Amino acid sequence: MSGIGKVAANSRIRRSPVRFLCLLAVLLLATFFLAIFIGAKGPIGSDDIDEMRYSELFDAILDKDSERLSYSTTAIVWAFRIPRVLLAGLVGASLACAGTAMQAVFRNPMADPFIIGVSSGAAIGASSAGLIGLTVVVGSFTKPMLAFACAIVTVFFVYRMGTIRGKVQVETLLLSGVAVAAFLGAIVSFLMYSAGQQFHELLLWLLGSFAEPRWSYVWMMLFPALAGVIIIFLYGRELNALLLGEETAHNLGANPETLKKLMLAVAAFVTAGAVAFTGIIGFVGLIVPHMMRILVGADHRVLVPAATLFGASFLIWADSIARTILPGEELPVGVITAMCGGPFFLYLLRRSRTGSVIS
């Protein structure tokens, strides 16, 4: 395990966690509205002279059917930017929240939401859908559905491997997850190798992207994400106890077996949903819980909402950068999450470890 746990949390934030959570909520709201103004067609981040004006966008947001605006403006705002921002927020929140739960279940700050094979399972589903050409034949929902199904099947398999006599053995589960991910990863690599011209599209999916936002995706993400976050939050006290060991959790009246199974199921479901629609966006589920733990401490009743709110903001920002940083082109959002998150995380880590001690 890493020594991050020894880091003492920031004292001012820890004394008034509710104020900090409100701050994160305000940040998310501001992020949401600001991100709608960002895009290749302007007003922020434009590479076009013929850009949209702020006032036009305001009008479009306020009134979807306004007659004073051109069709393209309302279309960009309502069919493209708003669902995209919402989707990024939902996915960010889901991954960060699921990551927090996984780190508690595995009592290991290196765990992430993909640890029990969600990403590799989804990758198999998505790549086979793309390669066989099912997308063309059956319809555009095939890829997310197949990715989701394969992710759930993989998680179930890993879970079975890591369960001995009805008890979830955390270490076995971890190793099974790693082994299955390696095996499926090899198959994905093979598929990609033989993919030829579809290689680029597949790679883009593997790195994660919000390039095809749809309202239907938003609606389909909304329920599992909300339910997942709420369930994980409600079990915050038990997750705290679990971090001191399964026997301690049991002695404190929190049934560790039920808790582990519930958390694994919720996290797998939420993560599989996120991956199915947007591909494998790394880093958010691993680093956001870390960052928040440095700031608010390990109490899950604060940590879970903090990670959820910040995860959403973080991914919206990452996506905003991804779609504007290169003129006329989009980067996979996974590239941005790693590029921005890495240094910021290192900064937080160094700062908290050099000037630690909660007073």
Partner 1 sequence: MKLNVSDLSFSFDSSKVLKNISFETAEGEFLGLMGPNGSGKTTLLRCLTRYLPARAGAILVDMKPLHTMTDREVASTFAVVPQSSSTDFPFTAKDVVLMGRIPHMQSRLSSSRREDADKALAAMTVSGCAHLANRSFSELSGGERQRVVIARALAQEPKALLLDEPTVYLDISGQLEMMDLVAKLNREESLTIIAVLHDINLAARYCDRIALLNQGKLEVLGPPNDVLRPEVILTVYGVDVTVRKDPLTHDVFVMPRSPTVLSTKIGRRIHVLCGGGSGGPIMRALVDGGYSVSVGVLNVLDSDYESATDLRVPIIAEVPFAQISDDMHAENLKRIDETPIVVVTHFPVGPGNFRNLEAAMYALKAGKRVYILTGGGGARIDFVGGKADAFIGDLVDAGAVKIKSVTDMMHIIGE
Site residues for partner 1 per CB under 8 A: 1-9, 11, 14, 107-109, 234-235, 237-238, 240-241, 243-245, 247-248, 250-255, 293-294, 297-299, 356-359
Our CB check for partner 1 shows the closer of 9 and 77 to be 9
Q: Which is nearer to partner 1, 220 or 242 (CB)?
A: 242
43, burial (CB in 10 Å: exposed 0-12, middle 13-18, buried 19+): middle
| Separation in Å, CA 261 to CA 22, 68, 151, 248, 253 | 31, 54, 17, 17, 16
**Closest CA relative to residue 130, chosen from 63, 181, 195, 74:** 195
Least separation in angstroms between CB 61 and partner 1: 34
Query: Which residue, 297 or 311, has its beta carbon nearer to partner 1?
Result: 297
Q: How far is the CB of 149 from partner 1 (least distance, A)?
A: 31
The conformation of residue 9, written as its DSSP 8-state character, comes to P
The CB-of-239 to partner 1 minimum distance in angstroms stands at 10
Nearer to partner 1, 6 or 68 (CB): 6
Q: Tell the smallest beta-carbon distance from residue 245 to partner 1 (Å).
A: 8
Q: Report the alpha-carbon distance of residue 115 to residue 111 in Å, rounded.
A: 6
What minimum distance in Å lies between the beta carbon of 299 and partner 1? 5
Closest among 209, 222, 193 to 131, alpha carbons compared: 193
What is 65-101 written as a DSSP string?
T-SSS-HHHHIIIIIIIHHHHHHHHHHHHHHHHHHHH
Give the nearest distance from C-beta 291 to partner 1 in angstroms. Answer: 12
Q: How many CB atoms lie within 10 A of CB 349?
A: 17
What DSSP string describes 263-319?
HHHHHHHHHHHHHHHH----SHHHHHHHHHHHHH-S-HHHHHHHHHHHHHHHHHHHH
Q: 285 with 112: CB under 8 angstroms?
A: yes
Q: Output 111 or 180, the one with its CB closest to partner 1.
A: 111
Question: Nearest distance from residue 344's CB to partner 1, in Å?
Answer: 19
Q: By C-beta, is 208 or 236 nearer to partner 1?
A: 236
Is the CB of 168 or the CB of 184 nearer to partner 1?
A: 168
